[in-house]
Chain A
Amino acid sequence: MSNPPSDPAPSNEFATIIKKRLYHSLSETGDAFRLLAETIFQIFRPPLQFNLLMKQLLLIGFNSLSVVLVSGFFTGMVLGIQGYVQLKPYAVEGSVAKFVSVSVVKELGPMITAFVLSGRIGASITAELSTMKVTEQIDALEVMGTNPVKHLVVPRFLACSIMLPTLTIFSTFAGIFGGYVAVVSLFGFNGDFYILQVQKYLYVGSVLISLIKATSFGMAIAAIGCYKGFSISTAGGAEGVGTATTGSAVISLVTILVLDFVLNHILFNILGLV
């Protein structure tokens, strides 16, 4: 009653909200890149604390190796079954090994590993750092003259950038092996032929693509995890920690997908890698 029907206020309000949101996410992205820049700067400023890095490497490795292996193995099995069934009508089921290995090496190996780690490691980094923030531990670091970026972000960033490609090698092998198990046991495929084909189509370029992707995903997961952890307000409390943690995992997943597309474009179309 009080609002005449032609009142443009609601749509204006909507536009304002959208504008605010957009501005907010842009400024957040800016802050995240600033943190990334400072992290890279701090990596090259001695001293590098190897014990902190070692601790993170072990933590990530131990926590994720089994999940990465299992995920890789089952993805490979599914690919083997699907590939075989799809290729069979055209009588080219012999290429199934190529199909599995090429997909796993270039796409699914890095992707699956990154997905597992964004859920496990990215989220736990955010939970840990945001808890430290709300319990004033970050303030305590600062007041004792220690740079929190150097002390907390650098080891996590390096560990993720190193462990992601490392684990990707594991998940890739698990995937190729999964495909082998699937086609050999279910369809009576010749195992020696499978291995020969895998060896034939495993190019250096493909491995390079896999490792470049994995390293980039690792950097993204760590950078997002740390940024979401640090950007929580001290007044956020336990609720803020929860929100930041789920936020971190979701943003990592989306970023990995987008990054994968961008990297595919750069690596295949621009650099011409196979």
Chain B
Amino acid sequence: MISVKNVRKAFDEKIVLNGFDLEIPRGESLVIMGRSGCGKSVLLKIIAGLLSVDAGEVWIDGTEITQLKRKPLNQIRRKIGMLFQSAALFDSMSVAENIAFMLDQHTDLTEQEMRKVVDEKLNLVDLDGVQDLRPAQLSGGMRKRVGLARALAFNPEIILYDEPTTGLDPVTCTEINELIRDLNQQLQVTSVVVTHDMHSAFSVGTLMVMLHEGKQIAYGKPEDLINEENPILQQFILFGAPDQILNIDNPTLKEFTGRQTE
């Protein structure tokens, strides 16, 4: 469904992606891991066609998008919902207008029908009574959730989440994780989730990829990855993984945890 082939992306001299490959089959929920500044947000923007690539291909549903003109690209983008790391809400609009933006732009729904969708999506992200506020009046976590509601408003087939749970309290965090999982399992949405939160990663991910120095250094199912003896990967998982995962018999992991059995 989504495939990224040998993508290279540099900003001036700084190489961010250096021959990166990734396959995301339909209906999977892929978690992207990697150190801060390694290019995860850049990768999401490349998948959404927001950044050009220096080399390589990006395929979505059988169409190569890196060379597409705006019109066909926009056709594909209607299937995509994206939650930005900064939420990227429109300052000049109310929360309701933000969420209803795509409906307003691309459909003939009435005010009332849009209002209904807005209420429903806000309910999904556990917010209510903020419809008429401006983004500037919201807290960081609330903005994030409005951003998520906006990404869901057009019932996308593909959702790109850039750190959906960063800055949320543990309870809301768990709810958002459940929401991502439900969308994936019940509606067969293909999700791409960038997260630093290992609880979140293991709770939503059906596939995981690790990005390091512009390349893919690990890719697979969560249960396979935790057994992989890659120090960079294990170090990453270790610092935030739930305890039950750390109890798995993996020598590299144990070396880091210092939990040698002998």
Contact = CB atoms under 8 A, between A and B. Distances in A.
Interface of A: 131-132, 135-137, 139-140, 142-147, 235
A198 to B, nearest CB: 43
Interface stretch (B74-82, B173-181, B191-199): B74-82
B250 to A, nearest CB: 38
Contacts of A132: 90-91
Given A137-B90, A139-B88, A145 B102 contact: yes
Closest A-B pairs by Cβ, 9 of them = A136-B88, A145-B74, A140-B88, A143-B82, A145-B77, A144-B102, A139-B50, A143-B48, A136-B84
Given A143-B50, A146-B105, A137 B88 contact: yes
Contact of B70 (A135, A143, A147): A147
B115 interface: no
Most chain B beta-carbon contacts within 10 A, residue among A135, A142, A145: A145
A144 B84 contact: no
Nearest to A151: B105
Interface of B: 11, 45, 48-50, 70, 74-75, 77-78, 80, 82, 84-86, 88-91, 101-102, 105-106, 154
A139 B84 contact: yes
A235 B14 CA distance: 13
Contacts of B154: 144
Given A143-B82, A144-B105, A145-B77, A137 B50 contact: no
Given A139-B84, A142-B50, 4 more contacts: A136-B84, A137-B88, A139-B45, A140-B88
Contacts of A235: 11
Nearest to B160: A143
B91 A137 contact: yes
A235 B37 CA distance: 13
A145 B101 CA distance: 10
10 contacts: A136-B85, A136-B86, A139-B45, A139-B84, A140-B89, A143-B77, A145-B74, A145-B75, A146-B101, A147-B70
Nearest to A145: B74
Nearest to A55: B92
B90 to A, nearest CB: 6
Contacts of B48: 139, 143
B50 A145 contact: no
Q: Is the interface of A mostly helix, strand, loop or mixed?
A: helix
A177 B256 CA distance: 84
Contact of A144 (B49, B70, B91, B101): B101
Contacts of A137: 88-91
Contact of A135 (B11, B77, B88): B88
A190 B88 CA distance: 62
Contacts of B45: 139
Contacts of B90: 132, 137, 140
Contacts of B80: 143
A198 B48 CA distance: 61
Contact of A145 (B88, B89, B105): B105
A137 to B, nearest CB: 5
Nearest to A134: B86
Most chain B beta-carbon contacts within 10 A, residue among A136, A137, A144, A146: A144
B126 to A, nearest CB: 22
Contacts of B105: 144-146
Nearest to A149: B70
Contacts of A143: 48-50, 77, 80, 82
Contacts of B49: 142-143
A142 B48 CA distance: 9
Contacts of B85: 136
Contacts of A147: 70, 74
A267 B258 CA distance: 84
Nearest to B75: A145
Contacts of B88: 135-137, 139-140
Nearest to B98: A140
Contacts of A144: 77, 101-102, 105, 154
Contacts of A139: 45, 48, 50, 84, 88
Contacts of A140: 82, 84, 88-90
Contacts of B77: 142-145
A241 B53 CA distance: 26
A49 to B, nearest CB: 9
Contacts of B70: 147
Contacts of B50: 139, 142-143
Most chain B beta-carbon contacts within 10 A, residue among A131, A136, A140, A142: A140
Nearest to B147: A140
Contacts of B84: 136, 139-140
Most chain A beta-carbon contacts within 10 A, residue among B75, B85, B88: B88
